[in-house]
A and B are shown apart, each in its own frame.
Chain A
Amino acid sequence: MTLAHYARIWLTSARYSIVRTLMFRGDFFVWSLVELFWMTVNLLMVSVIYRHTDTVAGWSQYEMILLVGTSMLIQRFLMGFFWSSIFEMGRNIRSGNFDFFLAQPGNVMFMATTRKLDPDGLINSFVAGGVVIYAAHKLGLHPGFADLLCYAFLVFCGVVIHYSILVLSIAPAFWITSAQGIEGGYFTLSEFSRLPRQAFRGIANVAFVWVLPVVVVSNTPASTLIHGFKLPDVAWVAVIASVWFSAAVFVFQRGIRRYSSASS
C-alpha cells in the first residue's frame, strides 16, 4: 500500500463527508455555532479572571489568550479530522459494525479513524487561528518564517498526541463492553492543555506535564511564538508524539486481536 493509495482513500472519504455536510446545511450551521460558542466560553473565562489579576503563573492576559487559542487550534484540527470517526469506533466495536473496517482495503486503524471529516470543526480552526493571530498582534510579536514553521510543526505534533490519547481512551471498548463515559476522559484531560505549565506544582507537575503530555502539547508551541524557537523543547515534543502514537498503535493492534464480531 503506497502513500498515494492512502491519500486517494482519504480524499474519497473527505469528499463523501463534504457532500453529506452540504446535504444537511442546517446541521452544519448549528454545529459550527456550537464550536464557536464553546471557544468563546474559554475566552470569556480568561477575560473574567484577568479582570481581577494581571498575571496567572507569569502569563499576561494576551499570552494566556495565545495559549488558549493554540489549544483550541489543536483541538479543532482533531475534531475536524478525527473526532467523529474515533467516537463512532467505540460504538461500532460494541455493536459489531467494526467488521466493516476489517474488510476494507487498508490499515484498519487508518480506515477506522479517518472515515469521517467534520467541516464544522475545520471551519472553526480558522477562528482559533484568528485568536492566535490577534493575541500575537496584541503582544507585538513578529515571528520569522522559521518560528512559524516550528509553530506549525508543534501544532502537528499536538494533533498527533491528542489523536493518540483519544484512540487510547476509546480502545478499552475492545475489552470492556460498556466503556461509555471513558471517552469523556479525553475532554477532561484536554482542559489541562489550556493552563500555563508554570501553574503546575508537585504531583500535578509530574502527572500532567511529564507523565501525560496534555500541558506540553499547547504550552510549547505558544512559548515558541512568544519567546522564540528552542531546539530541546521541539525535540522533546516530537519524541513524546512518537511515543504516544506508538502506544496507540500497539494498544489498537492488541484490541483488534481481542475483538470478536457481534454481528450475526
Chain B
Amino acid sequence: MFATLAKYYAAFTVGLQSNLVYRVNFAVRGFFSFFHLVVVFILWSAAYAGNASIGNFSFGQTLTYFVALIVVQFMIGAFNEDYQISEEIRNGLINQFLLKPVNYFGYRFSIYVSARLVTGLLILLPVLVTYPLLKDYLVLPHEWWRFALGLPALFMSALVQFGIAYCFGLLSFWFLDIQGFVVLSMAVESVLGGQIFPLDLMPPWLFHLSQYLPYYYQMYFPVAIFTGRLTDVHAIVAGLGIQACWVVAILGLGQFLWRRGLRLHTAVGG
C-alpha cells in the first residue's frame, strides 16, 4: 500500500519541480486572467446600470462569481493535460508505462495535482494585489454549510475536469491531431460550464437541462455553492449525487478508452 503511494508521490514531486520551472508562465497567465476580470467588470457594470439586480443577483454577487471562477479555474482546471497525454501517445513515451508497474491514470493524476497546487497558489498573488480594489464589490455568503458541501463538489469537479481531459488525450490512439476536438470541447465547456456567464441567467428550461450535463459540474456548481448563487440545500445535495454519477461515468469511460486504445497501439523502437 505504502509502496504504491510512494510511486505516485514521486511522480507528484517530479511534477511539482517541473511546474515550478514554468512558474513565470503561469504567473503571466494569471495576470492576463485579471484583464479578463476587467472586461467582466466593464461589461456587467454597464449591464447593471439602471438595474438593481439581474436574475435576482446584485452586481457585487455577479462580480464575486467571476472572481471565484478565476481562482477555481487555476485550482482545478485541466489546462493542457489532454495535450500532454496526446503527445506521450504520439511520441511513444507511454511505452515505458506499459513495461512498469505504474498505472498511467494514477501517474497523470499525480502530475495534475502537483500542477494545480502550483497554479492554485500562484493565482493567490494577483488576488491579493487586486483585493484592495475589489473588496468593496465582493459579496461572500457566511453560511458554513457551504464549505461542507462546496469542498466535496470542488474535489469532484477536479475529477470531472481531469477525467474529460484524460479521455480527450486518449483519443490520440485513434486520431493524429486532437487539438481541434479539444478546442471545440473548450467552447462548449466555457458556455455550459458557466465561464462566459452565470448559468442561472440562461432561460430556466436551459438552466434545468444543463444540470444533467457534466459541464455544469466542471466549474459552475462548486463556484455557485461558494458564492451563494445556489441556495437550496436539498438541490445542492441532489447535485452532488448527479456529480458523483458523472465522475464514475467519465472515469469509467477513460478506463474503457485506455483498454481499447492499447489494443490499437503499436510500440516501436528499443
Contact = CB atoms under 8 A, between A and B. Distances in A.
Task: Please determine whether chains A and B interact with each other in the same assembly.
Answer: yes
Q: Which of A27, A34, A51 has the most CB of B within 10 A?
A: A34
Contacts of A204: 38, 42
B187 A52 contact: no
B267 to A, nearest CB: 26
Interface string A31-42: 101100110110
B155 to A, nearest CB: 28
- Size class of the B contact interface (CB-based, 8 Å): 35 or more
Q: Which of A30, A40, A44 has the most CB of B within 10 A?
A: A30
Interface in A177-213: 178, 180-182, 184-185, 188-189, 191-192, 195-196, 198-200, 204
Given A41-B187, A200-B42, A52 B201 contact: yes
Contact of B32 (A52, A188, A192): A188
Contacts of B46: 56-57, 195-196, 198-199
B212 interface: no
Contact of A31 (B39, B42, B180, B191): B180
A184 B197 contact: no
Interface in B187-216: 187-188, 190-191, 196-197, 201-203
Q: Is the interface of B mostly helix, strand, loop or mixed?
A: helix
A189 B29 CA distance: 13
Contacts of A180: 25
Interface in A15-43: 27, 30-31, 33-34, 37-38, 40-41
A37 B184 contact: yes
Given A48-B201, A52-B54, A181-B25, A30 B184 contact: yes
Contacts of A37: 184, 187-188
Interface in A140-190: 178, 180-182, 184-185, 188-189
B91 interface: no
Contact of A30 (B35, B50, B181, B188): B181
A138 B168 CA distance: 40
Nearest to A215: B42
Given A45-B197, A48-B201, A48-B202, A56 B180 contact: no
A197 B100 CA distance: 59
A181 B47 CA distance: 31
Q: Which of B29, B32, B177, B203 has the most CB of A within 10 A?
A: B32
A2 interface: no
Contacts of B49: 57
A42 to B, nearest CB: 8
A192 to B, nearest CB: 6
A37 B196 CA distance: 13
Contact of B180 (A30, A53, A182): A30
Given A27-B177, A34-B184, A180-B25, A41 B42 contact: no
Given A184-B32, A195-B42, 20 more contacts: A30-B181, A30-B184, A33-B180, A34-B183, A34-B184, A37-B184, A41-B190, A45-B197, A49-B197, A52-B201, A55-B50, A178-B24, A180-B25, A181-B26, A181-B28, A181-B32, A188-B32, A195-B39, A199-B46, A204-B38
Interface of A: 27, 30-31, 33-34, 37-38, 40-41, 44-45, 48-49, 51-53, 55-57, 178, 180-182, 184-185, 188-189, 191-192, 195-196, 198-200, 204
Interface of B: 22, 24-26, 28-29, 32, 35-36, 38-39, 42-43, 45-51, 54-55, 177, 180-181, 183-184, 187-188, 190-191, 196-197, 201-203
